[in-house]
């Protein structure tokens, strides 16, 4: 989130530090909150602290100096697994781009690895990123792990759409809530990542407290005329980037902007609530179809029509 670790989540860091200093670390944790606010980064830092030989008191990070921290920083800690698309691609010996969601075999493999004894003699830690995107069989396999984690093992799940996780999984985890970031924090993070001050301020303003979204906005942008209602729908969809991943990200940003604009329209008394609700439902469905690989151009075209209909 920043060159110097997690930013703008002091409440969360306090809770994690408390777990560590009291030596009462829950074996199954869920880091949940909006996308792009530092959940994955915090999970990595907390994992390093859990594995550290002498974690500094009052903090939620490793000491940065011991053998465990050195191995962690080098990406070769034998008692740590990050269960994500890259891990699955490696297991399946497939391209990274082909990993749409985490599968049952991947979760089972992680479980097997976590059941062996710790090589460095401390804990074993697994971070399951975007657990809300697991295939149903994979989520069930994960539930079995969460029901009876072996002693010394800590599982940290991250999720930006908590409501998508099965209730049985939710009930097994200690939930740690991440809040949207302040605009000033988002701006500072962008500047630290090399974005100019003016562009960083503009992106932070439109990002709804998500540094990840602000970075995408600063680098890719989205068809802004779509929200203003001035663009011809075909022009808005044609302005998306030529490659699919960029176009998909831009379409997601556009849907977010349309949702924000719809809420603004209601707050400012321009659009009746019933109309806003109808349009929000339509935009949510468009978001689902985008995740199900519908052409981003078609999604933006339809979002443009929804934005116009709601504004008229």
Distance (Å, whole) CA 131 – CA 163: 11
Of 40, 42, 48, the closest CA to residue 73 belongs to 48
The sign of the CA dihedral 271, 273, 274, 276 is positive
The nearer residue to Zn ion, 64 or 196, going by C-beta atoms, is 64
What radius of gyration do the chain's Cα atoms show? 21
To Zn ion, the closest distance from the beta carbon of 305 in angstroms equals: 55
- Please say whether the beta carbons of 112 and 150 come within 8 A: no
The nearer residue to Zn ion, 111 or 123, going by C-beta atoms, is 123
Q: Which of 63, 201, 220, 294 binds Zn ion (CB under 5 A)?
A: 63
The nearer residue to Zn ion, 52 or 125, going by C-beta atoms, is 52
The nearer residue to Zn ion, 19 or 87, going by C-beta atoms, is 19
Residues 36 to 55 in contact with Zn ion, rule: CB under 5 A: 52
Residue range at the interface with Zn ion (CB under 5 A); choices 66-74, 84-92, 138-146, 212-220: 66-74
Q: Which of 62, 133, 209, 265 binds Zn ion (CB under 5 A)?
A: 62
The nearer residue to Zn ion, 120 or 199, going by C-beta atoms, is 120
Residue range at the interface with Zn ion (CB under 5 A); choices 6-14, 59-67, 80-88, 158-166: 59-67
To Zn ion, the closest distance from the beta carbon of 25 in angstroms equals: 16
To Zn ion, the closest distance from the beta carbon of 17 in angstroms equals: 15
Distance (Å, whole) CA 177 – CA 6: 14
The nearer residue to Zn ion, 50 or 186, going by C-beta atoms, is 50
The nearer residue to Zn ion, 69 or 189, going by C-beta atoms, is 69
To Zn ion, the closest distance from the beta carbon of 49 in angstroms equals: 8
Residues 67 to 126 in contact with Zn ion, rule: CB under 5 A: 69
- Please say whether the beta carbons of 79 and 119 come within 8 A: yes
Neighbours of 243 (CB within 10 A): 8
Neighbours of 230 (CB within 10 A): 11
To Zn ion, the closest distance from the beta carbon of 65 in angstroms equals: 6
Distance (Å, whole) CA 207 – CA 259: 12
Q: Please give the size of the binding site for Zn ion, defined by CB under 5 A.
A: 5
Residue range at the interface with Zn ion (CB under 5 A); choices 4-12, 58-66, 87-95, 179-187: 58-66
Q: Which residues pair with 156 in a beta bridge?
A: 29, 127
To Zn ion, the closest distance from the beta carbon of 72 in angstroms equals: 8
To Zn ion, the closest distance from the beta carbon of 5 in angstroms equals: 14
Distance (Å, whole) CA 192 – CA 196: 9
Of 16, 88, 87, the closest CA to residue 45 belongs to 16
Q: What value, to the nearest 5°, has the Cα angle with vertex 24 and ends 18 and 30? A: 80
Q: Which of 25, 66, 170, 191 binds Zn ion (CB under 5 A)?
A: 66
The nearer residue to Zn ion, 53 or 135, going by C-beta atoms, is 53
Neighbours of 218 (CB within 10 A): 20
φ, ψ (nearest 5 deg) of residue 126: -125, 135
To Zn ion, the closest distance from the beta carbon of 20 in angstroms equals: 12
Distance (Å, whole) CA 95 – CA 99: 7
Residue numbers at the binding site for Zn ion (CB under 5 A): 52, 62-63, 66, 69
């Amino acid at each position: 989130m920043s060159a110097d670790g997690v930013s703008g989540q002091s409440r969360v860091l306090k809770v994690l530090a408390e777990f560590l200093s009291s030596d009462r670390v829950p074996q199954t944790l869920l880091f949940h909150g909006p996308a792009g606010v530092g959940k994955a980064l915090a999970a990595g830092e907390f994992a390093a602290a859990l594995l550290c030989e002498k974690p500094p008191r009052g903090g939620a990070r490793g000491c940065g100096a011991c053998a465990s921290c050195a191995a962690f920083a080098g990406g070769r800690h034998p008692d740590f697994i990050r269960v994500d698309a890259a891990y699955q691609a490696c297991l399946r010996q497939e391209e990274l781009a082909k990993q749409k969601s985490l599968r049952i075999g991947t979760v089972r493999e992680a479980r097997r690895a976590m059941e062996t004894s710790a090589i460095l003699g401390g804990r074993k830690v697994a971070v399951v990123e975007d657990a809300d995107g697991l295939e149903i069989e994979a989520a069930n396999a994960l539930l079995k792990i969460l029901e009876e984690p072996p002693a010394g093992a800590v599982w940290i799940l991250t999720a930006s759409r908590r409501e998508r996780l099965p209730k049985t999984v939710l009930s097994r985890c200690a939930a740690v809530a991440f809040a949207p970031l302040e605009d000033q924090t988002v701006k500072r993070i962008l500047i630290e990542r090399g974005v100019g001050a003016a562009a960083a301020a503009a992106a932070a303003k439109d990002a709804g407290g998500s540094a990840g979204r602000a970075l995408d906005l600063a680098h890719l942008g989205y068809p802004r005329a779509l929200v203003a209602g001035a663009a011809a729908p075909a022009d808005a969809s044609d302005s998306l980037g030529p490659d699919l991943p960029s176009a998909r990200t831009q379409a997601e940003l556009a849907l977010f902007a349309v949702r924000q604009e719809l809420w603004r329209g209601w707050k400012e008394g321009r659009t009746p609530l019933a109309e806003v609700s109808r349009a929000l439902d339509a935009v949510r469905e468009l978001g689902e179809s985008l995740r199900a690989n519908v052409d981003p151009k078609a999604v933006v075209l339809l979002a443009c029509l929804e934005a116009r209909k709601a504004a008229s």
